[in-house]
Structure 1
Amino acid sequence: MSFTASIPIRPFTRFSHSRLRNPIKISAFTLDFPPPKSAHCNSTTRSPNSMNAGAIAARMDDDDDDDVDVRFSSLEQEEALINASKLVGASVSGLEAVLNKLSKWLFAVVFGVILLWRHDAQTLWASIGSVLNSALSHILKRILNQKRPVSTSRSDPGMPSSHAQSIFYIVTFAVVSMVQWFGLNGLTAALGGIIFALGSYFSWLRISQKLHTVNQVLVGAAIGLGFSVIWLWLWDAFMLEAFTSFLWVRIIVVLAAVGLCSGFVIYVIRHWVLDEE
C-alpha cells in the first residue's frame, strides 16, 4: 500500500515567480545620501560659517600680534627704567662718596670762619674744646675697640665715629654762636634746624659709605653734642669770670689754644692729607 501526499506547489511557484519577476522596492529602508562634492567645489564654495570662522581667526592672529608688541614694548620700557635707575643710583653714590671725603674739610673751614668772625675769648675756649673732643674720640675708640663694618677696608676701631663727634661739636657751637649774636627768633631757629639737618646728613654719609655702623654714628653724634654743650657751659659758669679777672688764666687759655691748634694742624697734614681717619 502506498501513500502519496500531494503538495500544492503551483501556487507557491507562481507566487515566487511573480515576486521574482516583479521585485518590490522598499523605499522606507533606502538611504538617500547626497552626492559627494568635488574638490573644485570645496575649494571655491564656502559656507557663511566658514567665512566667519576665517575672519575670527584672522582677528585672533592680529590680536596675538598686538599682544606681543605690547609685551615687547613693556619689556623695553622696564629695561629703560632699570638702566636709568642704575645710572641715577651710581651718580648719587658717587656724589655721596665725594661729599663724605670733603665733609671734614668743609666743617673745619666752617669752624675756622666762626673763629675769625667772633675772634674773642670764647672762640679760643671753643677751639681748645674742639681739639679735646677729637682726642676724646680717639681715646674712646681704643678703649671700646669696636670693629667697623666688614665691608670697609679701614682696620682701626669704629666706636664712636670721630667724624660724627666732630661734626656735632661744631654744629652745636655754630648754633649757640648764632643765637648769642642774633638772639633766639624765628630766623635763627630755622637756620639752626638747617644746620643740624646738614650735620645729620654728613654724619649719615659715614653709614651709607659703610665706614661706620648706625650705633657708632649715633654715639659719636651724641658725645660731640654733649661735649660741646658742657664745654660752652663751663665757659659761662666758671671760665669767663676767671678769664677777665686773672692774667695767668688768660695766658694759659691763649697758650693752650695756640699749642693745641698747632698740633691739630700737624695732625691734619699727616693724616687728613693721606685720607686716613
Structure 2
Amino acid sequence: MRLLNIINQNSKWVASLVFLYGISQLGRAHACWCALGVIVLSYACKGLKHVIRQPRPPGSRKKDPGMPSNHATGIMYCAGYYAATAHDLTPLRVATHAAAVSVAAGMTWLRVYHGQHTASQVVAGAVLGGGGAVVWHAAGAAGALGVLQGHEVLRRTLYTICIAAFTNFFIKGYRKARRKLLEQKAG
C-alpha cells in the first residue's frame, strides 16, 4: 500500500523519465515532434479542466478541477506514442508495447485509488492522451515530421520550445516539491 502511494506521488517524474528515455531512442526531429505533442495535449487538458470545471472527489487534497486527469493524459500519451511507433511486430515488440500500455494504465488508475480523481476523470484523460498520441503520430507520419526535418530554422525553433517547456516543467515541479517539504518540516 505504501509503495503504491509512493508511485502515485511520483508518477509524473517516473513518466517523465521514461518519456525522455523513449524519445531519446528516436531521431532528434522525431523526438521533438513527440515532445511537442505532449506539450500541446497538456495545455489542451488544462483548458478542458477549466471549461468542464468538474470537481475532484471529496477528500482530494487538490482543489483545481479534475476532469480530465492531466496525469492520465500525459502518461497515456507516452504509452500511446510508444505503441504507435511499433514497426516489424515481433512477439517481443508486441509484448513490450503491451506492457508499456498496461503499466501506464496502472499508473493512471493509482489516481483513482488514492482519491485524486474519479474513474471518469482518469478514463477521459487516458482517452485524450492515448487518442492524442495516435493522432499526433499519424500527423507526423503523414508529412508534418518530414516538413520539420527539411527546415533547419523550424527544427531548431522546435528544439528550443521543447527544451524550454521541459525545463519549465522540472523547475515548477522542483519548487512545488521543495515548498511541500518545507511545509512538512514547519508543521
Normalising by the residue count of structure 1, what TM-score does the alignment of the two structures yield?
Answer: 0.60
Question: Does the 8 Å contact 1:128/1:257 carry over to 2?
Answer: no
Matched residue, 1:125: 33
Indicate the structure whose relative CO is greater, using CA pairs within 8 Å and at least 6 residues apart.
2
Q: Which residue of 2 aligns with 1:270?
A: 172
2-side partners of 1:174 and 1:254: how far apart? Answer: 23
Q: Name the SS of the counterpart of 1:118 in structure 2.
A: coil
Superposed CA deviations along residues 1-43 of structure 1, whole A, max 9, x for unmatched, are: xxxxxxxxxxxxxxxxxxxxxxxxxxxxxxxxxxxxxxxxxxx
The structure that has the greater radius of gyration is: 1
1:155 aligns with 2:63: yes
Instruction: Check the 8 A contact 2:56/2:64 in 1, yes or no.
Output: yes
The aligned residue for residue 77 of structure 2 is: 169
Could you tell which deviates more after superposition, 141-150 or 254-263? 254-263
Give yes or no for contact 1:131–1:261 (8 Å, CA) kept in 2: no
Q: CA deviation at 1:162?
A: 0.3
Determine the C-alpha separation between the residues in 2 that align with 1:210 and 1:261: 33
**Structure 2 gaps, min length 5:** 180-187
For the 8 Å contact 2:56–2:118, the answer to whether it is kept is yes
Q: Displacement of 1:264 after TM fit?
A: 3.2
Gaps of 5+ in 1: 1-91
For 2:154 and 2:140, how far apart are their aligned partners in 1? 14
1:272 to partner: Cα distance: 5.3
RMSD of equivalent CA atoms: 1.8
Tell me the percent identity.
Answer: 26
Question: What is the alpha-carbon distance in structure 2 between the residues aligned to residue 107 and residue 271 of structure 1?
Answer: 13
Q: Is the 8 A contact 2:33 2:145 kept in 1?
A: no
Q: Does 1:144 align with 2:52?
A: yes
CA deviation after TM superposition for structure 1 residue 273, in Å: 4.4
Cα shift at 1:218: 0.1
Deviation of 1:268 after TM superposition, in Å, equals: 2.8
1:252 counterpart = 2:154: yes
Check whether the contact 1:207–1:214 (CA below 8 A) recurs between aligned residues: yes
Please tell me whether residue 223 in structure 1 is matched to residue 125 in structure 2.
no
Tell me how far apart the structure 2 counterparts of residues 271 and 113 of structure 1 sit (CA, whole Å).
19
Q: Give the TM-score, by structure 2 length.
A: 0.87
Aligned residue for 1:242? 147
Runs (4+) of structure 1 moved beyond 6 Å?
A: none
